[in-house]
Amino acid sequence: MVARAYEPFVELLRANMQNCGALRIDHVMSVLRLWWIPYGETADHGAYVQYPVDDLLSILALESKRHRCMVIGEDLGTVPVEIVGKLRKSGVYSYKVLYFENDHEKTFRAPKAYPEQSMAVATTHDLPTLRGYWESGDLTLGKSLGLYPDEVVLRGLYQDRELAKQGLLDALHRYGCLPKRTGHKASLMAMTPTLNRGMQRYIADSNSALLGLQPEDWLVMAEPVNIPGTSTEYPNWRRKLSTTLEAMFADEQVNKLIKDLDKRRKAASKKKPA
């Protein structure tokens, strides 16, 4: 890239930025390093290849300015410490997913503790829907597809999910996202419209400057659109919405949900210091 004055990178950014106001870069750590695997070898024979991160981030900032296109960096998973500050200083928005915003005791981060320079989402295309998460449908499906090496691993995942659900339910009550009459024991609660709305309220109340929501969660769908680690085992990217867009936006409950989230979002923004 250096020998070509970063032309391939510039062309890539321009092709993607020319018709949009925001660009999400998957695995944004790729501007720092990537794990390269020699052709014909297995992953354990690979090595990290370092990239000229400062140059790439400078070019990213320049093209973002030229195209008036903000940048969201998907910074989940293993994030090298040295890139966190660089991304922030370059104006790249972080990516905060509800499922992951908790500590080892499953205490969830308060909505107001989300960094402003971030995009808050409940879930992603690689994760279960809100209903799928609450019902552990992703674990059941993963078992049927042979994604787990043994029952011990799967049992641990189920136990971890139950703890996370209880932690999330506690947080929804703590921060006023559920009616007081709503149950307090996660193991006894099914996914309901009230619980579904509460989870999305939690994200809408966040301090993040950007908010991302999925139609699948407005429709309380269970099936995921993509399961990482599969190809022919699951029809990835082919699962359709349970109804048409026209029907969805005409649905009374969906409109009530959107209006409620919009109202809370506006209220949250007014509370931010000037």
pLDDT at 274: 59
Phi, psi (rounded to 5 degrees) for 48: -75, 135
Span 125-184, pLDDT tens digits: 999 999 999 999 999 999 999 999 899 999 999 999 999 999 999 999 999 999 999 999
pLDDT in tens, 54-93: 999 999 999 999 999 999 999 998 888 889 899 999 999 9
Paired sense of beta strands 118-121 and 210-212, if any: parallel
Helical H runs in the chain? 7-17, 53-67, 81-89, 130-134, 137-144, 151-174, 193-204, 215-218, 245-250, 252-270
Residues in the chain: 274
pLDDT computed for residue 269 by the predictor: 80
| Distance (Å, whole) CA 23 – CA 69 | 7
Answer with the residue of higher pLDDT: 262 or 271. 262
Q: For residue 204, count CB atoms less than 10 angstroms from its CB and return exposed for 0-12, middle for 13-18, buried for 19 or more.
A: buried
User: CA torsion sign, 117 to 10 to 34 to 23?
Assistant: positive
Q: How far apart are CA 196 and CA 83, in angstroms?
A: 35
Q: How many CA atoms lie within 13 A of 208 on its CB side?
A: 26
Pairing relationship of beta strands 210-212 and 94-97 according to DSSP bridges? unpaired
The predicted pLDDT at position 82 comes to 82
Residue 250 in tokens = 């005409």
Q: What is the pLDDT of residues 85-138, one digit of tens each?
A: 999 999 999 999 999 999 999 999 999 999 999 999 999 999 999 999 999 999
